[in-house]
Structure 1
Amino acid sequence: MPELPEVETVRRGLSPAMEGAKLARLQLNRTDLRFPFPENLVAAVEGRQIIALGRRAKYLLIDLEDDLTIIAHLGMSGSFRVEEEALGTFHHPRSKDEKHDHVVFHLERGNETLKVIYNDPRRFGFLHLAKRSELDLYPAFAQLGPEPTGNALDAEYLGKRFSGKVQPLKSTLLDQTVIAGLGNIYVCEALWRAHLSPKRAAGSIVTPTGRPKKELVLLTEAIRAVIADAIAAGGSSLRDHIQTDGSLGYFQHSFSVYDQEDKPCRTPGCGGTVSRITQAGRSTFYCPRCQK
């Protein structure tokens, strides 16, 4: 499933095409994806201008005029692509599996017309509609923690959330009420950068009074850095994820521990070997020698 950097990459790729454009027509090629489309979706959004594209955790937010927001989730295999129609030609190649083109946003900007197409072979994605002024009440957002890219995530905040926790660091960091949008790949990478074992109790890097120890400061910096690096690389193109122009993300070529089982640890001077364990049904990759 695409994680935060992949969704942020999609947002940035779609913004130039969608922001400021008029949503002239919304074409639904089926009645549902993971969930049925809202009954009033087409009537509510057609003819409205797209004000901005945002993101909350792993959700794409398409803000329209009149306080409306389309909430999109890519599921396991969803992707968007942009087709700019000019003089009968397309600047971007058509999809090779157009039978999975389930939603088409027909956009107008002045004399320019273009299409943004949502393709989803497994149909685990979805579109919902909400009032922008009530997004905090949307069930998936109501309990979300701060974004790993925002100023609200710091060692002081995590110190309060980790205090007294006996749960492993790995499962604590995957808790979306602690940090929004942080997934398995980037938790493994951040813990490796901070040289912390995924099995270590979250409360062990906090003082008895809830103050962050040096290890938590380093972990916070590692989380922010690994997310920034992944966004800069266009995310990771594991399985089905591609960018809006059809190109791939390249952060997977920089994985230090994720999916690197039995390979030498990349920490200079470590000499250890990356191991894989299972925690809460998820694969965890780490170096037992340098991650303590």
Structure 2
Amino acid sequence: MPELPEVETTRRGIEPHVTGAKVREVIVKRHDLRQPISPTLSTIEGRKILSVARRSKYLLFGIDDGSSVMIHLGMSGSLRVIAPGEAWKKHDHVGITLSNGKQLRFHDPRRFGLALHFTLPPEEHPLLKGLGPEPLEETFGVKYLRSACSTRKAAIKLVIMDAKVVVGVGNIYASESLFRAGILPQTAANTLTLPRLKRLTSAIKEVLADSIEQGGTTLRDFLKSDGEPGYFRQKLFVYERKGEPCLKCGTPIRHAVMGQRSTYWCPKCQR
């Protein structure tokens, strides 16, 4: 599914087209996504979109009446900025027509996404409350990660994928970060020394920042806001490279299932 870099890439792509624009019309073709589309979504007609933010994998549109629209891309969703007259595709579910002559179109073949309208402060919404810090912000540092890991015997890969510990470190990026840090994914979190945690913190930030810069990881269903796929996938060192030689040392990459997710590592570079 689209991960933090894909969502951030989308946010940056659509932000200049929607910020400051008024909503002329909200069109809902299908309501039954993972949760039903909010019946109050149409009340943003005539209102101005003040901002486009991201919290974890959720896009948050700030409306000038103090409400918010939350969009989650689910497993296969995408947002495009298009002309209102463009033909609707089979899995286009929501269109938000703007005063600048553009339309924000939400496409979601598997319908695991969300399009919710609410008046709560975003940080109090049930889907956002209790989330860990953003990995690219200063609140996520080695001291924080050390504290979070100190009492956890679980594998470090599972810990950094826990959204209550840190948001947005999905399966691909967890594997790649642990490779950069030279840490085996099976290592018990509470056994990691401060220098190793420092390397891991830096690796997580670097991997995510690099992916955002490249436009997100190329997944089968993900498209950027301009309709083009991301390109970070070609730079992956271990993910989905089972049996292939490590790009650093030549040792075959190994694979196992952890927490029902595929995990990849180099047995020589990672310890």
TM-score (norm 1): 0.90
Q: Is 1:242 aligned with 2:233?
A: no
Quote the offset at 1:31 in angstroms.
2.4
Cα RMSD (Å): 1.4
2: CA distance, partners of 1:170 / 1:35: 29
The answer to whether the 8 Å contact 2:41/2:117 transfers is yes
* Corresponding residue to 1:279 among 252, 258, 267: 258
Counting aligned pairs with the same residue, the percent is 41
Q: Is 1:47 aligned with 2:46?
A: yes
Q: Is 1:11 aligned with 2:11?
A: yes
C-alpha offsets along residues 17-48 of structure 1, whole Å, 9 cap, x if unaligned?
10010011110012221211122221x21111
Unaligned 5+ residue runs, structure 1?
Answer: 207-212
Tell me the residue number matched to 1:77. 76
Q: How does 1:186-265 map to 2 (within 5 A)?
A: 186-206=173-193, 213-265=194-246
2: CA distance, partners of 1:277 / 1:219: 20
Stretches (4+) displaced over 2 A? none
Unaligned 5+ residue runs, structure 2?
Answer: none
Q: Report which stretch shifted further, 255-264 or 27-36.
A: 27-36
Q: Report which stretch shifted further, 11-20 or 134-143.
A: 134-143
Equivalent AA in structure 1 for residue 221 of structure 2: D
Equivalent AA in structure 2 for residue 23 of structure 1: V
Equivalent AA in structure 1 for residue 28 of structure 2: L
Equivalent AA in structure 2 for residue 139 of structure 1: P
Tell me the residue number matched to 1:266. 247
* Corresponding residue to 2:107 among 109, 113, 119: 119
Q: Report which stretch shifted further, 279-288 or 32-41.
A: 32-41
Equivalent AA in structure 1 for residue 128 of structure 2: F
Equivalent AA in structure 2 for residue 118 of structure 1: F
Q: Is 1:21 aligned with 2:12?
A: no
1: CA distance, partners of 2:21 / 2:250: 54
1: CA distance, partners of 2:51 / 2:123: 17
Quote the offset at 1:271 in angstroms.
3.2
Aligned residues, how many? 271
